[in-house]
Structure 1
Amino acid sequence: MPRVRALALAVIRRPGTGQLFVDEMVEPGTGRRFHRPAGGGIEFGEHAAQTLERELLEEYALAITVGRQLGALESHFTYAGRAGHEIVLVHEARLTDPADYEPERRPCLDQSHVCGVWRSPEEQTIPLYPAGLAGLLEVDGH
């Protein structure tokens, strides 16, 4: 039976550019590329900030400091032919090591169809998900 998934996403901005660190994903079967801030599923008993610290370390070997929660979104979508439903907690965060802001691309260590990239918040050619994220970024003043 399908379930609602709880997710935490990190809004990490590159100093001086305002670019966002995002997962660049390719949907299986369609080849459609899209972006989503890095993060992942919240495990039972875990706080969203803990999820973000764990996920960025597991997926990119990146240490982060999690800041304030920017908001919560509800996302309904279809991915690889399956309906999805997520409640998404969005937090600001920063990379602990300034050198980690340098690489343009980072391979995801546990998902071959995902790569970490920097993107402009104004980018229009590749969709940025979840829906409503752009509004949270505007409210945040960036």
Structure 2
Amino acid sequence: MSASPGSGVRRNLLPRLRGRLFHLWFLLSRPMTLGVRGAVFDRESNSVLLIRHTYVPGWQLPGGGVEAGEHMLQALERELMEEANIELTDAPELKSLHFNRQASRRDHVALFLVTQYRRLGDKKPDREIAEAAFFPLDALPEGTTPATLRRLAELFGGEVAGAEW
């Protein structure tokens, strides 16, 4: 018996289709979110950039979510510009990756150390950012978030990076 025309195509198509459907199901059932934060550090003044949002309390490192189709560095560049008028002039250093249980069961945050940058003027308050300013590491503002304090202790105080944000 000879195989019917197209049966080989069906045999090859079915596993590929099944693989694509499984991949789609996996993406829909197990979505992971990724965010970036930048510790923008001024060596001369031993200070770090912090921002204060209009919709959540506390001072924190600038950053935000990585959009679909966007690389982490692109997201960091975009967020630093949007939140603080900071332009990267060289590649930042990826320092750690953290699970952010407070955001969701699937959220992770990549922390970058930024030492090569250009400030393009003061950040004016808008609907998202109330303030953006540099603070000396030994004089952080009241209300600096616990996660921000942990990250700064890891970066500049020799603490071991924690798994959780």
TM-score w.r.t. length of structure 2: 0.60
Q: In structure 2, do the counterparts of structure 1 residues 108 and 76 end up closer, same or farther at CA, with 3 Å as the change threshold?
A: farther
| Identity across matched positions, percent | 14
Which protein is bigger by CA-based radius of gyration? 2
The one of 109, 114, 117 equivalent to 1:93 is 114
Q: Judge conservation of contact 1:26–1:34 (CA < 8 Å) in 2.
A: no
Q: Judge conservation of contact 2:96–2:110 (CA < 8 Å) in 1.
A: yes
Structure 1 position 109, deviation (Å): 4.8
Question: d(CA) in 2 for partners of 1:48 and 1:129?
Answer: 24
Asked whether 1:136 is paired with 2:136, we answer: no
Q: Which has the higher contact order (CA 8 A, sep 6+)?
A: 1
Unpaired runs of 5+ residues, structure 2, are: 1-30, 160-165
Unpaired runs of 5+ residues, structure 1, are: 78-83
Match of 1:10 in 2: 38
Counterpart amino acid of residue 58 in structure 1: E
Match of 1:106 in 2: 123
Structure 1 position 27, deviation (Å): 4.4
Report the more deviating stretch, 40-49 or 129-138: 129-138
Moved over 3 A (4+): none
Counterpart amino acid of residue 107 in structure 1: K
Q: In structure 2, do the counterparts of structure 1 residues 107 and 66 end up closer, same or farther at CA, with 3 Å as the change threshold?
A: farther
Q: Judge conservation of contact 2:49–2:61 (CA < 8 Å) in 1.
A: yes
1:48-103 Cα shifts (integer Å, max 9, x gaps): 111111122233333113321110122233xxxxxx23311001113533xx28x7
Question: d(CA) in 1 for partners of 2:137 and 2:32?
Answer: 27
Q: Judge conservation of contact 1:58–1:110 (CA < 8 Å) in 2.
A: no
Cα RMSD over matched residues?
2.9
The one of 95, 102, 110 equivalent to 1:70 is 95
Match of 2:6 in 1: none
What count of residue pairs does the alignment treat as equivalent? 123
Q: Judge conservation of contact 1:70–1:136 (CA < 8 Å) in 2.
A: no
Structure 1 position 46, deviation (Å): 1.8
Report the more deviating stretch, 40-49 or 18-27: 18-27
